[in-house]
Structure 1
Amino acid sequence: MQGQEILPAIATHLLDSARTNGGKAPSERDLAEHFSVSRGQVREALAILEAMQVIERRAKSGIYVNTDNTGIEAMAFLARAGLPLENRQIYEAVEVRKIHEIKAAELAAARADDENFDRLRDILVRSEERIAQGEGIDGLDQEFHLEIVRATQNTLFLNICTAFYELGGNRLKVYFRDPDRNRKSHEEHKQIFEALVNRDAALASALMVSHLRGAMSYWSELLQPAELSD
Structure 2
Amino acid sequence: MSEQKDLVSQLVLFLHLRKYEPGERVPSEREMAERFQVSRGHIREALAFLEALRVIERRAKSGIFMAREAASVEALALYAQVGAPLTAEDVQQSIEMRKIHEITAVRLACERATLDNFDRLRAILAASEAKMAAGQPINEEDRAFHLEIVRATQNSIFHRIVQVYYLMTVDRLRIYFNDPARCRTSHEEHLAIFQAVARRDAMTAMNLMSEHLKGANSYWQDLIGRGAPPGPGDQTEAWLALATGRSH
Same fold (TM over 0.5): yes
Change (3 A) 1:188 1:67: farther
Aligned residue pairs: how many? Answer: 224
- 1:80 lines up with 2:61 in the alignment: no
Query: How big is each residue's C-alpha offset from its partner over 1:73-100, in whole Å with a ceiling of 9 and x where there is no partner?
Result: 1122233344433333233222211111
Change (3 A) 1:4 1:180: closer
Q: Which residue of 2 aligns with 1:30?
A: 31
The higher relative CO (CA closer than 8 Å, separation ≥ 6) is in: 2
Distance 1:66 1:205 in 2: 38
Amino acid at match of 1:8: S
SS in 1 for 2:70: coil
Q: Which residue of 2 aligns with 1:152?
A: 153
Q: Which residue of 2 aligns with 1:130?
A: 131
Q: Which residue of 1 aligns with 2:231?
A: none
Provide structure 2 residue ranges, at least 5 long, that are not aligned to the other structure. 226-248
SS in 2 for 1:202: helix
Distance 2:5 2:211 in 1: 41
Map of 1:98-113 to 2, 5 A cutoff? 98-113=99-114
Amino acid at match of 2:187: H
Contact 1:18–1:65 (CA under 8 A) maintained in structure 2:
no
Map of 1:53-202 to 2, 5 A cutoff? 53-58=54-59, 62-66=63-67, 69-202=70-203
Shift of 1:215: 2.3
SS in 2 for 1:24: coil
Distance 2:12 2:24 in 1: 13
Shift of 1:123: 0.9
Query: How big is each residue's C-alpha offset from its partner over 1:44-86, in whole Å with a ceiling of 9 and x where there is no partner?
Result: 2212111110112346654233498221111222333444333
Q: Which residue of 2 aligns with 1:228?
A: none
Distance 1:103 1:85 in 2: 26
Return 136-145 or 2-11, whichever deviates more: 2-11
Change (3 A) 1:88 1:68: farther
Distance 2:162 2:112 in 1: 17
Provide structure 1 residue ranges, at least 5 long, that are not aligned to the other structure. 225-230
Q: Which residue of 1 aligns with 2:215?
A: 214
Query: How big is each residue's C-alpha offset from its partner over 1:99-156, in whole Å with a ceiling of 9 and x where there is no partner?
Result: 1111000000110000100010111111112222222111110000000000001111
Q: Which residue of 2 aligns with 1:205?
A: 206
RMSD across aligned C-alpha pairs, in angstroms?
Answer: 2.5
Distance 1:76 1:133 in 2: 31
% identical equivalent positions = 48
Change (3 A) 1:55 1:174: same
Distance 1:4 1:141 in 2: 26
Shift of 1:208: 0.3
Calculate the TM-score normalised by the size of structure 2: 0.81
Calculate the TM-score normalised by the size of structure 1: 0.86
Change (3 A) 1:68 1:181: farther
Distance 2:64 2:8 in 1: 16
